[in-house]
Structure 1
Amino acid sequence: MPVSRPARRTVVLGAASALTALATARTAEADSTEPWVRRTLARMTVEHKVGQLFVNHVYGAAADTSDGRNTAEYGVATPAQIIAKYHLGGISYFTWSANIANPRQVAALSNGLQRAALEANDVPLLIGTDQETGSIVRIGPPATQFPGAMALGATQDVSAARDAAAITGKELAAMGVNQDYAPVGDVNINPGNPVIGVRSFGEDPETVARFMAAQVNGYQRQAGIVATAKHFPGHGDTRVDSHTGIPEITHTREEWERIDAVPFKLAIQQGLKMIMTGHLVFPALDPAKDPATLSKPIMTGILRHDLGFQGVVITDALGMQGVRDKYGDDRVPVLAINAGVDMLLRPPSFRVAYEAVLEAAKNGEITEARLNEAVTRILRVKASNRDPFVDEARVDRVVGIASHLTRAAKTTNRSITVVRNDAATLPLDKSPKKVFVTGYGVTATQTLANEATKRGHQAGVFQTGTKPSNLAIETAVTGATQADLVFVLTMKAWDLEITDPEARQQRLVHELVATGKKVVVVAVQEPYDIGFLAGVETFVVTYVPTVGSITALAQVLYGEITPQGKLPVTIPSGEDPGEVLYPAGHGLTW
């Protein structure tokens, strides 16, 4: 008996009802927290308000850790002293700032920082980190490691994306991290994009929107932390990395509406609390060609007025070159606030930026109304987390638990994508043979060699990196000639501007194929590599070179699980970008 489908009107009414319920919930929350917001704002000095605009790193594994780098940047030695002196609105965690050793230590640090903030200001901190999953993570194992956005897109399973965000968010929350700088809403329609790539869910705006909205719900509704969608107005069609230069997006306004805006619009409808800006020029949205972060037509005119976003707008890191080319470091934060930004992330010189904003607030360049508007939005986000402390003894019962790891492994297994299997090399048999593993990544190549050994093979391994020398290529070829089967791992072999300017990875692959041995090529990052590897008969994509992804890869290679991944992006020919080698949605199975 066929299953009846609801009429379109019923579906639309159902969606409308859901949005109405969400709006009602938001109104109720606002009604309960608004008195605290008003009282808190009323007692703040200008210095307190300006401090709330800043999110910065601090050095040290504990709130009372003295570190000379803190003294050099802030004039005081410990994270707690920095918070007390500058009334910071947020802290961002990094491994390089000695903030992350293990989950219990992170939880203790978070509690110490929150204690310092409440003692100084009676206002909790936003504590955030870049835990996008996949290639961009700050907190490694034992925290659960999910594959990244493009791998999630390859699963074609929106619920997997929601669960990845929910589990990641719950583990962050257990460590006192109440904000994630994720998900990424950029639509990666440019195969040459050097900074987004696998951080995007794919090239189709509607698909990216669905996956992004699912992750917003996972972070905010299920995990109870703040999601931060990035990088508005859209970083998906650029060949310039905004860390090192200023990208210019040439889309028309209509193209922006049809491509870049779609994920952000849906996320906003889902109650998104924070958006991160992109340091990119978008002439169709602002003819003055100011970076979007500093553009009032984009930040206020489009994001606030046209899209109706009422949450907090935070900049991408202000030390990135994309926002520094046109104006000085003392002007950038002031211009950002006056453009409509609410929070300033990691300026290159904190004290220069802080003093510039404070002076602008005192002399009226930043009006009292604008300052209060920004701080009010920040306080509204913080209002639901006024008791920010976590149970340090409970961390191990949340972070990296078996059910989380099982869900991550299941998701990773579904993401592995077999793109080419022309000689029917896959699935591999497990009869004893000599295998040789080479190419990118010490951990990735050794993990795959270990997996081959577990299956009864004699495995040799030789890691070459992304720019193998002539000697490394010769050594790899020699190793291949002594083996029955060769695995070669590539990492952005398409990127002839930054990663592989002399096409050495491409040469390595071609010389290995020329040995006449069976060669299985594995792209451990973007799938675009295959467009530059003519003659390769077997090609698989993992999207990230983690232990979990390589373990899942081995299961696919040996036929222990059926490949299910589908390309979230179109693969063009490296010689003729107009020629499509593999369309989005392609993926082999058996």
Structure 2
Amino acid sequence: MAAVPATAHAKGRAPGREDARIDELLAGMSLEQKIGQLFVAVGYGSRADQPHKSNTETTGVDTIAEIISTHHVGGLIYFAWSDNLENPEQVATLCNDAQDAALTSGGIPLVISADEERGVVYRLPAPATPLPGQMALGATGSKAHARKAGRIVGEEMRALGLHQAFSPVADVNVEAQNPVIGVRSFGADPEAVARLAAAQIKGLQGADCSAAAKHFPGHGDTAVDSHIGLPVIEHTREEIDELDLPPFIAAIDEGVDAIMTAHIVVPALDDSGVPATLSHPILTGLLREELGYDGVIVTDSLAMEGVRTLFGDERVPVEAILAGADQMLMPPDLALAIGGVRDAVDAGEITEERLDQSVRRILRQKLRRGLFTDDLHVDPAAAESALSTRKSLRTARKIAEDSVTLLIDEALPLPYGASVLVTGEGSAEKIDVAVEALNDLDFTATGLAEANAKDAAAAAQDVDAVLVFTSSSGFETPAEQVAVVKALAATEATVVHASLRNPYDVVHVGEVGASIAGYGNADATLQAIAGVLAGEVTAGGTLPVAIPEADGTGEAYPLGFGLG
């Protein structure tokens, strides 16, 4: 790929008034505040003033408010496991109080973020709209669906006081055995991924919620999970240009606020052996200079093993800044990480000019998303009513119906009024959603959650048909799930199989009467699958990835396949 001018993919430079405001803000910031702006922290607790031992252990202070006032962090990221996300009113109150702490201690508002991809990766509490995820959107091929899904996520986040979704996944998932991307990707066609990623960014940022395309320069062709190891991508530069980069170029063209780095080694781009997150040739040489990106570069979590294999936790953020990153996400020891950067500044290794470059980008993002306005605080009492509106639920249902993909059909639709057992992988709650949907369609449905092969087969003796779910996070379907399907297939009942995560399960489960790829277990997806069994829904999706044979070779189902 030939080098392009530094502004070729940049969309909308900051106007003079914005630059003047950034100059004013920078002039009033101390060195500690500038360094703090480069960090996005995890804070534990449901309230900003709630002491939590994990805060003490990971940040040196007790509460979220103290993390903000002591370390001057530029942002927070929320998770259920850090006790941040109990219910909409609590989330909104926490956001308001966190912002008050930021405004009181330095006057710079926070960017509050979450990994809000929807599908299998979501963070907002119920009743946030249970949207199908990115591979489901890939199965629809619809830019309109991707844009609308992004808009719903953005509006719901802003209603609760959050401003950044670390989404969309712009990785092109060409490796069926990828353990970490899978259905989080739009698919295996780089042009389709580019088109849908750009549409989702348009929807998110149209709701004034920052998007972050991830994971640069492309995490789609690896069988190693960067949470626990350091993957190596062996693509040539030509393959990178043709396969990995088009979605990121499309994101840049769309004006994406942030791009997240990958903890992967890419020898064709940097033969030093360091992960992309810490690579100057990749972040500065390729992303900044060649692709012309001038938005925020945010690292993936610095607590992941993929970025901790070569350097200590105090050194990793220094290396990331020197490589070209602006924001350090989730360092495992915040005080240690900030101290490492401060030492590098004191030693002249990181100049204050270099700090200012990153702080400028972060402040520009905050200005463009309206965080320096009176709209910073949200109404906690109104938060829940903004989630799962009738319009957003209709959109989720339409996306689901257009995404579910029929791979085998020797038995559908089932006879009107048939008795149907719903079982297999999935919580009792999800089984119940499918049961209710089937009963609404005039079947006589019952559910059996957490069943082993013997119990499932016994329950199938008394019904006409079985809807059995599997859910794999990689290429191989777990043996116990396969055993349930095969035990059911040995009964007299008609067996309809549905995969509720990766679509590859179909080649592992043996002979079934029908098989449907759902790409996730959102309520709308389960309802759409029920509709397919009744003949009320035409499975509208086509495979956005190819499915290999069970031994991992060849192609059992090609990209674009679908019987709907």
| Aligned mates of 1:351, 1:510 — CA distance in 2 | 53
- What corresponds to 2:403 in structure 1? 415
- What corresponds to 2:352 in structure 1? 368
| Aligned mates of 2:32, 2:309 — CA distance in 1 | 28
Give the secondary structure class of the aligned counterpart of 2:229.
coil
Gaps of 5+ in 2: 1-6
CA drift at 1:21? 13
Paired residue for 2:449, among 451, 463, 482?
463
| Aligned mates of 1:452, 1:216 — CA distance in 2 | 35
| Aligned mates of 1:291, 1:22 — CA distance in 2 | 25
Aligned residue identity for 2:487: E
- What corresponds to 1:443 in structure 2? 429
- What corresponds to 2:162 in structure 1? 177
Gaps of 5+ in 1: 1-18, 466-471
| Aligned mates of 2:474, 2:335 — CA distance in 1 | 41
- Correspondences of 1:337-356 after superposition (within 5 Å): 337-356=321-340
- Correspondences of 1:480-495 after superposition (within 5 Å): 480-492=460-472, 495=475
| Aligned mates of 2:357, 2:473 — CA distance in 1 | 47
| Aligned mates of 2:225, 2:291 — CA distance in 1 | 26
**Contact 2:288–2:294 (Cα < 8 Å) also in 1:** yes
- What corresponds to 1:78 in structure 2? 63
Question: Does 1:566 pair with 2:542?
Answer: yes
| Aligned mates of 2:64, 2:353 — CA distance in 1 | 30
| Aligned mates of 1:203, 1:554 — CA distance in 2 | 27
Give the secondary structure class of the aligned counterpart of 1:230.
strand
Give the secondary structure class of the aligned counterpart of 1:209.
helix
Give the secondary structure class of the aligned counterpart of 2:556.
strand
Paired residue for 1:477, among 457, 462, 473?
457
Aligned residue identity for 1:334: V
- Correspondences of 1:396-545 after superposition (within 5 Å): 396-421=384-409, 423=410, 425-433=411-419, 435-464=421-450, 472-492=452-472, 495-496=475-476, 500=478, 503-545=479-521
CA drift at 1:537? 3.4
| TM-score w.r.t. length of structure 2 | 0.94
| Aligned mates of 1:433, 1:117 — CA distance in 2 | 58
- Correspondences of 1:275-424 after superposition (within 5 Å): 275-384=259-368, 385-387=371-373, 388-421=376-409, 423=410
Paired residue for 2:530, among 554, 568, 575?
554
Write out per-residue CA displacement over residues 25-45 of structure 1, whole angstroms, 9 at most, x where no aligned residue: x34x43221112112212222
CA distance 1:541–1:36, shift in 2 (3 Å): same
**Contact 2:497–2:514 (Cα < 8 Å) also in 1:** yes
- What corresponds to 1:131 in structure 2? 116
Aligned residue identity for 2:562: G
Give the secondary structure class of the aligned counterpart of 2:25.
helix
CA distance 1:451–1:286, shift in 2 (3 Å): same
- What corresponds to 1:34 in structure 2? 19
Paired residue for 1:51, among 36, 40, 48?
36
Question: Does 1:585 pair with 2:564?
Answer: no
CA drift at 1:436? 4.8
**Contact 1:493–1:505 (Cα < 8 Å) also in 2:** no
Question: Does 1:268 pair with 2:252?
Answer: yes
| Aligned mates of 2:160, 2:481 — CA distance in 1 | 40
CA drift at 1:513? 1.4
CA drift at 1:249? 0.6
Query: Which structure carries more relative contact order (alpha carbon 8 Å, separation 6+)?
Result: 2
CA drift at 1:456? 4.5
Give the secondary structure class of the aligned counterpart of 1:420.
strand
The alignment covers a number of residue pairs equal to 554
- What corresponds to 2:3 in structure 1? none
Write out per-residue CA displacement over residues 13-68 of structure 1, whole angstroms, 9 at most, x where no aligned residue: xxxxxx99995xx34x4322111211221222221111111101112222222323
Write out per-residue CA displacement over residues 538-583 of structure 1, whole angstroms, 9 at most, x where no aligned residue: 10011111222111211121112222111111111112512x2221
| Aligned mates of 1:168, 1:456 — CA distance in 2 | 33
| Aligned mates of 2:8, 2:543 — CA distance in 1 | 35
Write out per-residue CA displacement over residues 130-167 of structure 1, whole angstroms, 9 at most, x where no aligned residue: 11010000013212121100001111211010011011
Q: Which moved more, 1:125-134 or 1:545-554?
A: 545-554
Aligned residue identity for 1:137: Y
CA distance 1:457–1:409, shift in 2 (3 Å): closer
- Correspondences of 1:141-156 after superposition (within 5 Å): 141-156=126-141
**Contact 1:235–1:280 (Cα < 8 Å) also in 2:** yes
Give the secondary structure class of the aligned counterpart of 1:259.
helix
